């Protein structure tokens, strides 16, 4: 069974993936798989352009976890959407030295539920688990994800509302 872990950059995907790996779980970090599918750079958005259709079609499924911002494009059996309160997300991305425009774009995407909406459009509700990582360590989050993966924690999503954190962009 393949379980995806997706979410806005900075929500904790890699950190939690590393924790799951330390626990003996198979974890594929998707950033290591997209190289051949990069078709260009969007310099204005500071993002790589990836042929996600071809990447997903050629991806070899694993028995375990796949983590990355685009995990919801894969045919996972279950999918976890990591969430983080936008004010905390801004701090995490600033520590990574993201440009202010990129921080704002990601905080707004988180407030607008972009990854969750994309995921809900691709998966049955019984396959989706939404997890707030705000103020939580990797161990707690990995425990919850393993519980969902093993069927001990039921699917659950759509209860997090960050809309009050939307920034008003003034030109």
Report the distance separating Cα 19 and Cα 60, nearest Å: 23
The proportion of the chain whose per-residue pLDDT surpasses 70, expressed as a percent, equals 97
2-162 is classed in which CATH architecture? 3-Layer(aba) Sandwich (3.40)
Name the band, by pLDDT with cuts 50, 70 and 90, for residue 108: very high
Cβ neighbours of residue 90 under 8 Å, at least 6 residues apart? 103, 107
As a whole number, mean pLDDT of residues 122-137 equals 97
Sequence ranges of the domains in the chain: 2-162
Question: Quick check: 171 pLDDT over 60?
Answer: no
Average pLDDT, the chain: 93
- The predicted structure's pLDDT at residue 35: 86
CB contact at 8 A, 118 and 72: yes
As a whole number, mean pLDDT of residues 113-132 equals 96
Q: What is the pLDDT of residues 41-67, one digit of tens each?
A: 877 777 788 899 999 999 999 999 999
Q: What is the pLDDT of residues 133-159, one digit of tens each?
A: 999 999 999 999 999 999 999 999 999
- The predicted structure's pLDDT at residue 41: 83
Report the distance separating Cα 10 and Cα 118, nearest Å: 17
Both tokens assigned to 147:
């519980």
Cβ neighbours of residue 29 under 8 Å, at least 6 residues apart? 14, 17, 67, 68
């Amino acid at each position: 069974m393949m379980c995806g872990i997706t979410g806005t950059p900075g929500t904790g995907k890699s950190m939690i993936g590393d924790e799951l790996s330390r626990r003996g779980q198979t974890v594929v970090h998707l950033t290591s798989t997209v190289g051949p599918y990069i078709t260009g750079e969007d310099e204005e958005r500071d993002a790589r352009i990836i042929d996600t259709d071809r990447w997903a079609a050629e991806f070899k499924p694993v028995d375990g976890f796949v983590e990355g911002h685009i995990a919801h494009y894969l045919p996972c059996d279950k999918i976890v959407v990591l969430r983080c309160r936008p004010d905390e997300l801004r701090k995490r991305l600033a520590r990574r030295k993201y440009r202010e425009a990129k921080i704002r774009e990601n905080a707004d995407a988180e407030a607008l539920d972009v990854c969750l909406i994309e995921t809900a459009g691709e998966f049955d509700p019984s396959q989706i688990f939404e997890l707030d990582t705000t103020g939580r360590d990797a161990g707690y989050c990995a425990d919850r994800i393993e519980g969902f993966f093993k069927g001990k924690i039921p699917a659950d999503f759509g209860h997090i509302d960050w809309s009050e954190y939307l920034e008003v962009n003034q030109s």
